[in-house]
Chain A
Amino acid sequence: MKLTVWTYEGPPHVGAMRVATGMKGLHYVLHAPQGDTYADLLFTMIERRNHRPPVSYTTFQARDLGADTANLFKTALQDAYDRFKPQALIVGSSCTAELIQDDPGGMAETMGLPVPVIPLELPSYQRKENFGTDETFFQIVKALARPMERTAHVSANLIGPTGLGFRHRDDIVEVTALLEEMGIGVNVVAPMGATPADIARMGVAHFNVLMYPEHAEAAARWAEKTLGQPYTKVVPIGVGATRDFIAEVAALAGVAPKYDDSRLRMPWYSQSVDSTYLTGKRVFLFGDATHVKCMARMARDEMGFEVVGLGCYNREFARDIRALAKDYGVEALITDDYLEVEKAIEDLAPEMILGTQMERHIGKRLGIPCAVISAPVHVQDFPARYSPVMGWEGANVIFDTLVHPLVMGLEEHLLHMFREDFEFHDEAGASHHGAAAKLRSLDEAPVAEPEPAMAAAAPAEGNIVWLSDAERELKKIPFFVRGKAKRNTEKFALEKGVTQISVETLYEAKAHYAR
């Protein structure tokens, strides 16, 4: 048993729902108790879908336990087929049904439905949502796709986008455009938007673009082996990655790497002097492995940030993330416990967090700006406007996303620096409110205000004490580098065997770490 309040991933059958909801003409019959239908609202509310997810639940109750649940499943399956007339069905168990050991696949087989019924084995007590998407899509592809003669012109399948995916909707548009510029047609996009009939003709494409390894790597590998389709390894998030992706695709397709990046503004924005203050900003990254991997490269090589820590919650990709962390000279954090993530963030005291919805809340709590780069996300990250993260426009979108919280941070800093100024004190209100501003009398003493937790110069480890002069001096340092200054000074003091930090120590440490 493990005590959990927040989970980064749902159970694996939610992953299967994401595949089913992304597709059309497919229906999922889920053997599950009453109440498991809660997952519908993830799709109708967070993703704002305008139809019910194509999922029927057997919704068995206590009185049904025993032989009845098997009949319930058969009835539900027959009803779902009669009502929805899907091209194919997927069937499986949720965590509770897994315990009562009815066999959905076996029962479905005996019913002789006139469409393919694909059974899913999703071990709920070992695996999670992303395994569910990957395995479900793999089983569907394996059941329906066959080797076929290739299209006359070069074409590719885009695989991986699902329901409830972070920016999947717009990434599809962006990647399709990248391929089209090279004269490569898109054969099938799957699971998002595909029908079982579309899956059946996946084999005519020349290769696969694996957009999200979390959701389609198993299918990509199978297609490589069985359909002879190679697949792309680079995920085009960021300017450099998009260029690499184009080169990789061109090689796979045997065409010239051609692209139109006339709308790409990100590099110039990042090079402009306005962005100089971004240099060396200490960022911490956490999310699903793919987004973390891509964003780490962007953060360091395209934004000029310093990556001080990174990690992912999906342990399927732990090895990749560990290797990546080594490249960046940091420790990889592989965990699905948000308290461990919070601890790591507290210890590293970064100036910015790139993470999920959860890290946004951690950031809020610790007073650290945060940008969301990965699922799980809430409704505001399924925006109405076009906002991919892949390709050229994706790079533009990410630049804005990463800079916005920081600009706000800078404004906060200015207010903070001048807070003892009679024109800028807290009660004065924002300057553009003009008439409402109340200026403090010049003679009045500035009001002391409590410091945010992070900046408090509490006694450090190893019983180092901050003398009050040094503590005051520390508070004069801009808040967004104060955490770093504090840690560096304490580290310096420890190394020198100093137990009391004076103003001297503070500046000696500063000189020591200056580069």
Chain B
Amino acid sequence: MKDFAPQLPAAGCRNTPVLKERGQREVFCGLTGIIWLHRKMQDAFFLVVGSRTCAHLLQSAAGVMIFAEPRFGTAILEEKDLAGLACANEELDREVDRLLARRPDIRQLFLVGSCPSEVIKLDLHRAAERLTQRHAPHVRVLNYSGSGIETTFTEGEDACLAAMVPTLPDTDERQLLLVGALPDVVEDQALGLLRDMGVAPVRCLPAHRAAETPGIGANTVVALTQPFLNETAAFLERRGARILAAPFPFGEEGTTAWLWTIAQEFGVDADTFARVTDAPRARARKAIAAAAETLRGKSLFFFPDSQLEIPLARFLTRECGMTAVEVGAPFINKQIVGPDLDLLAEGPVIAEGQDVDLQLDRCRAARPDLTVCGLGLANPLESEGMATKWAIELVFTPVHLYEQAGDLAGLFARPLRRRALLSGLEGAA
């Protein structure tokens, strides 16, 4: 029988000592997750309870999306809300009533905690219960925290999905649950491949609509599509589900390994697997090869941002021929990214957390060919002559699975190609 498991390197990074740093962090808070979550959950509204800073952050991060009647907003705390907490609850109830009256299409309302609401210990959990009773059965109100003091960027999605898990109905059905908000086009591809292999039933968390919410139970097997779902995975296990250990579906190899893990769990034979995946695997390899020409032999430095860094470094080193110098992640859960760490060849510094000035010193000393970092660092590093790839795009763009593998490699190749194209262009800053 054929085996589709990837070849392990002589030594992987699973046991590499992790450089743990604390200091100034240049990252987004978990509120940012709302920007893609609200697109995915089409009958949900995300109401941040926070300050003007929170509203300003969402507006800066959401860019033009803000003008499309978005299903998110901020209840801005005012001076009088800080004076007495009882008052804050009444205020919140009133704002929610008004909001739900204006948007009767809303079925799920998320009260999203922020730093200010956490610091004044506004109990949004109790508020959510109270409001659920008030608006039942039409609307269900949940809460989670996207505050910067507790969550970093994509951890906002983790907190949101984890908050949903206790509310999922029980089921004994033997099923596969795909967990993580994927762009629709990618989700459809995943469902198509699994269907063609005969894996069924397959459900998704989050679902498009509240009515499609999946059940959960002891016979549920979970395939995570995103590496940052640490708390969600723990909550799912608590409900009896089993989490499959697999590399994440980035690149041809990652996707194959991920699908193969599921296939083995559901007793799909190698021939069927080959029949379903041969063509897309070949397509992915071909598409990657085009971008890999630019990337091969180039060095790579990841600043921490989304927890996608380890699986992406695995893809870029193994399938595109790059060399990783440092792979920084805001948080590393070896249980979840272990399979990717096993595949990532020994060599790079694996860093968790951040002291941005020290990390910049290391980056400048290493002079990597490509630096993956946030938008606050990208232009400053470019002006120092270093090519950068801004990391947020990796969360907003479809990058998972076979058909996107070429695009994913392309995202990293483009800054290098552009640099080469403009090499004769000089002038004052």
Residues of A within 8 A of B (CB): 1-7, 9-11, 13-14, 33-42, 44-45, 48-53, 56-62, 64-65, 76, 79, 83, 94-96, 99-100, 123-126, 128, 358, 361, 365
Contact = CB atoms under 8 A, between A and B. Distances in A.
B75 A96 contact: no
B27 interface: yes
Nearest to B146: A35
Contacts of A7: 52, 55-56, 59
Task: Kindly state the interface size class of chain B when it binds its partner.
Answer: 35 or more
B376 A83 contact: no
Contacts, number: 180
Interface stretch (B111-119, B187-195, B206-214, B251-259): B111-119
A57 B24 contact: yes
B82 A99 contact: yes
Interface in B6-54: 23-32, 47, 49, 51-53
B119 A65 contact: yes
Interface in B91-107: 91-92, 94-95, 98-99
Nearest to B114: A96
Contacts of B70: 5
Contacts of B200: none
What 6 A-B pairs are tightest by C-beta distance, nearest first? A35-B29, A35-B148, A40-B376, A50-B383, A96-B115, A95-B51
B77 A125 contact: yes
Contacts of A14: 53, 56
Given A38-B60, A50-B380, A124 B53 contact: yes
Nearest to A48: B379
A64 B119 CA distance: 12
15 contacts: A5-B55, A5-B70, A35-B115, A36-B148, A38-B61, A41-B374, A44-B379, A52-B377, A57-B25, A60-B149, A62-B149, A64-B149, A95-B51, A99-B120, A126-B79
Given A10-B52, A52-B377, A83 B357 contact: yes
B349 interface: no
B304 to A, nearest CB: 11
Interface of B: 23-32, 47, 49, 51-53, 55-57, 59-61, 66-67, 70, 72-79, 81-82, 88, 91-92, 94-95, 98-99, 115-116, 118-120, 147-150, 152, 357, 374-380, 382-383, 429
A99 B114 CA distance: 13
Contact of A125 (B47, B82, B374, B375): B82
A99 B51 CA distance: 11
A11 B56 CA distance: 8
B76 A4 contact: yes
Given A3-B47, A34-B148, 5 more contacts: A1-B95, A37-B26, A45-B375, A79-B357, A100-B119
A55 to B, nearest CB: 10
A95 B91 contact: no
Contact of B24 (A1, A2, A39, A56): A56
B107 to A, nearest CB: 19
Which of A4, A34, A124 is packed against the most chain B CB atoms within 10 Å?
A34
B331 to A, nearest CB: 11
Contacts of B31: 35
A9 B148 CA distance: 21
Contact of A3 (B32, B73, B81): B73
A124 B23 CA distance: 25
